[in-house]
Structure 1
Amino acid sequence: MGRGRPGAPPRGTAERTLTSVGSAAATGGEAGRTDDDEPTERHGTARRAPEGERRETSRMWHITLSVSGAQAPPAEVRRSLERLAHDHPFLLTSRYAGDHAEIRYWEEARDLHDAAAVALRLWGEHRSTANLPPWEIVGLEVIDRETYHQRVAEGYGPPPASPVGVHPF
């Protein structure tokens, strides 16, 4: 789908695109899935670097993006989120109502700052292609894999992203 490794511009452009967790380009091969649809890769991925340069390591980050705004027909919101998920299969699950939505997914990035930057661009960059409502981002949570699993194990984290897909609140 034209997405490459994080930070690399797609062919023909100078801008960074969203990366698809689990795509061959993002991870160097097919990533498997576990019951909570987290990529099975257990540690960060070392990036190849020319001799003598420092290698960057990417990690997995669980993203929860919350958006809200003026009332929109729920059926249109659902279609828009389904289009976004179809165009960007890294999205795990979306929940929606007529005036707000929540998107959850895994992002591969070097650090929290990179993961948050990509997440904050998601809604605006895909507003027209997915016909998303003109809502604003009202919340963003970015946590590392260990924190995600610790919260789930202690019973106060989000339940595993299952069923995957677009669902009403």
Structure 2
Amino acid sequence: MSELCRLWHVTVTVAGEEVEPLIVRNALRRLSDQRPFLHSLKYAGGRAEIQYWEEAESLLDASSLALRVWNEHRESAGLPRWEVVGLEVLERTVFLSRGMEYHVIVDLHDVTPLPF
């Protein structure tokens, strides 16, 4: 990692028209295979949330990359045609200061249902 790059914890939330949850789960598994850096994938019939670490020089760079993840893999992973409805990007030190380092990473690459 260069001196200019920092680590950012990214959470992307997408939502749209209801789809069979099993279809969403299977699509997220394919996405995880294509992008193995994703560490948390949660889903419901009408939304999904993915979390991962991004290396970038700035918040703007990390955010720009995050906003493209879903659409860039829509066809190859068979993802629903949902839109990004939420984005959280935290620098590593901010993320760790919240005490979330153990909360988020429960089972790497596991695809789990979102709570209702």
Relative to the length of structure 1, the TM-score reads: 0.64
Cross-structure match for 2:29: 82
State the 1:161 CA deviation: 1.4
Paired AA for residue 49 in structure 2: E
Paired AA for residue 106 in structure 1: W
Contact 1:151/1:158 (CA < 8 Å) preserved in 2?
A: no
Aligned residue pairs total: 113
Alignment of 1:19-98 (within 5 A): 45-46=1-2, 57-98=4-45
Cross-structure match for 1:116: 63
Distance 1:158 1:64, change over 3 A: farther
Within the alignment, does 1:166 sit opposite 2:111 as a pair?
A: yes
Give the % identical residues.
45
Q: Distance in 1 between matches of 2:4 and 2:71?
A: 28
Structure ranking higher in strand proportion: 2
Q: Classify the secondary structure of the residue corresponding to 1:107.
A: strand
Cross-structure match for 1:131: 78
Paired AA for residue 112 in structure 1: L
Paired AA for residue 25 in structure 2: R
User: What's the CA shift string for 1:78-137, capped at 9, x where partnerless?
Assistant: 000000000110100111000001000000111111100000001111100000000010
Structure ranking higher in helix proportion: 2
**After TM superposition, where is structure 1 displaced by more than 3 Å over at least 4 residues in a row?**
none
Deviating more after overlay: 120-129 vs 157-166: 157-166
Q: Which blocks of at least 5 consecutive residues in structure 1 are unaligned?
A: 1-44, 47-55
Contact 2:40/2:104 (CA < 8 Å) preserved in 1?
A: no
State the 1:160 CA deviation: 3.0
Relative to the length of structure 2, the TM-score reads: 0.92
Distance 1:96 1:107, change over 3 A: same
**Greater length-normalized contact order (CA 8 Å, ≥ 6 residues apart):** 2
State the 1:146 CA deviation: 0.5
Q: Distance in 2 between matches of 1:142 and 1:83?
A: 24
Contact 2:28/2:77 (CA < 8 Å) preserved in 1?
A: yes
